[in-house]
Structure 1
Amino acid sequence: MKIVFFDTDRLTRDYLHDKKMCDCDVIYLENSIENTDAETYENIKDAKAISVFVHTAAKMNAETLDKYPNLQLIATRSTGIDHIDLDYCRKRNIEVVHVPKYGEATVAEYTFGLLLNLSRKIIEARNDMKNASVHINDYLGFDLYDHTIGIIGTGAIGRHVAKLARGFGMHVLAYDLYPNEEFQRIYNIHYVSLDELYARSDIITLHAPSTKDNRHLLNDAAFAKMKEGVIIINTARGDLIDTESLYKHIVSGKVAGAGLDVLENEDFLLHDDIIIKDQDIGLDFAMNTIANNKLLQHKRVIITPHIGFNSIDAVHRILNTTVKNIESFFAGKTQNSVMGAKK
């Protein structure tokens, strides 16, 4: 029985090398699933389980998965599942499992890394030092202490962000479809409506999943309700923000700065081997790509390549959970299934 891990690097391969995983034939490939050459495909097409990462360039849809007729399990090494067509998997009776909890501290700390770089202009000052062009007055920042942070989404990561914010002496507002009242009481945070969060927050940070209902949650209407000079942080999913709208409000100064570890259509920017067919390029995609590139060049925007998860501790937790997910499935005790989830 074959298990194929796509999108692997040396750290992944070294860590998993001695894992038995049901005494199966485990194959590690560096490439994403859509870049498999013909010879390799012949060796893996009978795979019963595959594992992919959130960075996989291909969407796990019918076109991709039809090539694997014996497939029983997809083990994604991520919490997010928006890269997988769950409806198709249900029709094929393919189980899908994920890693629900691996890096709340990891991503929360990265969130504050982006925020501190924006609030104190660390990257700008460092670059000027390298270029021997230092202008002290250009690096005037602001304290986090006594400012208000608005957290959209209080799952494990959002709650950890709130804990860190309280440590900085910040006022914490939160919005969630399912408020955690015990957490609110213990950590002295305040659940409010989205409109109130927009209006009162000096910093807004996103920690919500991507769904069809919250796509472009931050759009023209939302930005209009925010304070002048608001800071936006996104370490969740790129399509939570309307990229063109964000760029427009960065230029106007309504948004004083943005720290983005995720972008809309980020695969197009992160993978130089993606082939986009002419018929696939629509006006929205083209305009979004232009806006992404403009944001990349803007001095008040920090963009990183979806690495908020990427500490060695978190990666090891991801791999451990993935191995247990695979072993449990083939032992008839499926864990961390997402088949009840809706996209």
Structure 2
Amino acid sequence: MKISFFAANEAEVVAAAAALGPGFTVGSTALPLDAHIAGNYADSEIVSTFVGCTLSKAVLVQFPKLRLIAVRATGYDNVDLDYCMAHGIVVSTVPAYGDATVAEHAFALLLALSRHLVACVEATRRGEFGYVPARGFELRDKVLGVVGTGRIGRRAIEMAHGFGMKVVAFDAFPSAELKETPAFRYASLPELLSAADIVTLHVPATPETIGLIGDREFDQMKPGAMLINTARGQVVDTPALIRALASGRLGGAGLDVLPQEPLLRREDALFKAGTTETASVLKDVVADHTLTSHPNVLVTPHNAYNTVEAFQRIMDTTLDNIRAFAGGAPANRVA
């Protein structure tokens, strides 16, 4: 079988090829998959994609032999599932790889915001050891609002308790087990927003969660509250976020995800022949740039997953998914 890995590290692909054995022909590129490069890999029977890849109909039609998409991630909102199901293309994912990894990154963003760490580091690098930042705040006794109590959300709750925080959570499907946790309670989303000093998002991008946090929700938050998003950029209405920051309603934000990440990675794609981006997409790109330069916002480049341990789990599960498909019993299938 011919496999093409996209947005791939060469050393990891070499190791993957050796692990898969002679029944597979493996190729790779460091570039994310999009409509501009898909044709170069048209003979692929399996594609393995990562963060930043696009698997829209315009991309998928260029793979006439495609049988499996092995997503090296948990989320698959970048895959046109309707097209895949209509054309018999199996889609597999990695359902669990970074519970601790992503939750730790959420707290890294929160700690950096709470103590103005980036400004302090930049000052000392300029030789300004007498620099005094704005006063920070302690996490102990603060209320953390956790939106989404799946694997990552639960790990964030554990970490919050380690810091001596109280936790209020919202989930469309509350966990009976979590309800018994000390210093924890479930609430409606409006109740959570009004109670939390910090809101952290841990939900997938679905039709129900797109734009989950917008103008109305920011108005319901405590004045000066913080927002952490390591979930998906589309969960937050970016223009509304900018308005909340500008008004002072929101004290700051730590973001590892933005709505238009593929375009931010390769902005030249906006100007390629045949590109017809809508005004709303272009507005999102401008908004994303506004956030990356905002003094009360920390943005990391969708890097919450990036640990040695998480990457090993991602690759191990991806190879298992490929072997399972080749053996006629697809695993971790979402389409």
Structure 1: distance between partners of 2:176 and 2:271: 46
Selected match of 2:137 from 142, 149, 155? 142
Structure 1: distance between partners of 2:221 and 2:267: 36
Q: CA 1:323/1:22 → structure 2, altered by over 3 Å: closer, same or farther? A: farther
Stretches (4+) displaced over 4 A: 134-137, 276-279
Structure 2: distance between partners of 1:290 and 1:29: 29
Aligned partners of 1:235 and 1:260 also within 8 Å: yes
Q: Does structure 1 residue 245 correspond to structure 2 residue 240?
A: yes
TM-score by length of 2: 0.94
Cα deviation for residue 135 of structure 1 reads: 5.6
TM-score by length of 1: 0.92
Amino acid at match of 1:284: S
CA offsets 1:133-179 (integer angstroms, 9 cap, x no match) = 35654241000000000000111000000000000000001100111
Q: Secondary structure at the match of 1:169?
A: coil
Structure 1: distance between partners of 2:33 and 2:193: 40
Amino acid at match of 1:294: T
Q: Does structure 1 residue 16 correspond to structure 2 residue 16?
A: yes
Q: Determine the structure 2 residue equivalent to 1:165.
A: 160
What are the equivalent positions in structure 2 for 1:162-311 lying under 5 Å apart?
162-186=157-181, 188-276=183-271, 280-311=276-307
Q: Does structure 1 residue 337 correspond to structure 2 residue 303?
A: no
Q: Determine the structure 2 residue equivalent to 1:156.
A: 151
Amino acid at match of 1:282: T
Aligned partners of 1:47 and 1:70 also within 8 Å: yes
Amino acid at match of 1:262: V
Q: Secondary structure at the match of 1:179?
A: coil
Amino acid at match of 1:93: G
Aligned partners of 2:38 and 2:62 also within 8 Å: no
Q: CA 1:114/1:215 → structure 2, altered by over 3 Å: closer, same or farther? A: same
Selected match of 1:52 from 49, 54, 58? 49
Aligned partners of 1:22 and 1:327 also within 8 Å: no
Structure 1: distance between partners of 2:130 and 2:254: 23
Amino acid at match of 1:64: V
Aligned partners of 1:22 and 1:330 also within 8 Å: no
Selected match of 1:123 from 112, 118, 121? 118
Q: Which moved more, 1:208-217 or 1:8-17?
A: 8-17
Aligned partners of 1:102 and 1:314 also within 8 Å: yes
Q: Which moved more, 1:219-228 or 1:281-290?
A: 281-290
Q: Determine the structure 2 residue equivalent to 1:25.
A: 25
Aligned partners of 2:256 and 2:300 also within 8 Å: yes
Identity %: 37
Q: CA 1:336/1:328 → structure 2, altered by over 3 Å: closer, same or farther? A: same
Q: Which runs of 5+ in 1 are unaligned?
A: none
Q: Which moved more, 1:283-292 or 1:226-235?
A: 283-292
Q: Does structure 1 residue 36 correspond to structure 2 residue 31?
A: no
Q: Which moved more, 1:305-314 or 1:291-300?
A: 291-300
Cα deviation for residue 37 of structure 1 reads: 8.1
Structure 2: distance between partners of 1:32 and 1:147: 40
Q: Secondary structure at the match of 1:144?
A: coil
Structure 2: distance between partners of 1:151 and 1:62: 34
CA offsets 1:31-58 (integer angstroms, 9 cap, x no match) = 23334386xx2xx4222111111221xx
Q: Which moved more, 1:250-259 or 1:6-15?
A: 6-15
Q: Which runs of 5+ in 2 are unaligned?
A: none
Q: Does structure 1 residue 7 correspond to structure 2 residue 7?
A: yes
Structure 1: distance between partners of 2:212 and 2:271: 27
Cα deviation for residue 106 of structure 1 reads: 0.3
Structure 2: distance between partners of 1:174 and 1:21: 46
